[in-house]
Amino acid sequence: MLFYTEELTKALAERFDDIEEIKDVAAHGCSGGVSGFIYHKDTNQFFDDHEDAVEDVCYDILGDDWISEIARLGKCMDIMTLKTTAVWFVVETYCQNMADHAESLALTA
């Protein structure tokens, strides 16, 4: 299942290959700590590596004012926190989409 770009889909699919973890992130988000997305250094690197796709996800879902919305969600005071919050938003959205997809497959089986 494609999530915005092949590159972003591949990066997230490589990290999230356990449906139970995907469901957990979909239900509870990243703020409790998701391996690989805990530290600013890691989330900022992910943002930098996938900046266009991360911004596209945020823009498509949150609209023209996505930066302000992400800043509000993360109570952002600096660019590192803004990047982290944007990445968390993308990870959570990906996991919600994958959990919904898995559920729909289970219903049709």
Q: For every one of its 109 residues, what pLDDT tens digit does the chain have, with 9 covering 90 and above? A: 788 899 999 999 999 999 999 999 999 999 888 999 999 999 999 999 999 999 999 999 999 999 999 999 888 789 999 999 999 999 999 999 999 998 887 777 5
Say what the pLDDT of residue 83 is: 96
* pLDDT score, position 2: 84
Residue 50 lies in a domain: yes
In a domain, 13, yes or no: no
Q: Residue 89: inside a domain, yes or no?
A: yes
- The structure tokens 């770009």 sit at 5
23 is a domain residue? no
H or E segment and range at residue 2: none
Which residue range is the domain that position 87 belongs to? Answer: 39-109
CA distance 27 to 21: 10
Asked whether residue 54 is assigned to any structural domain, the reply reads: yes
pTM over 0.85: yes
pLDDT of residue 104: 83
What is the reported pLDDT for 109?
A: 58
Distance from C-alpha of 26 to C-alpha of 101, rounded to nearest angstrom? 12
* Structural domain includes residue 2: no
Residue 44 maps to a domain: yes
Residue 29 resides in a domain? no
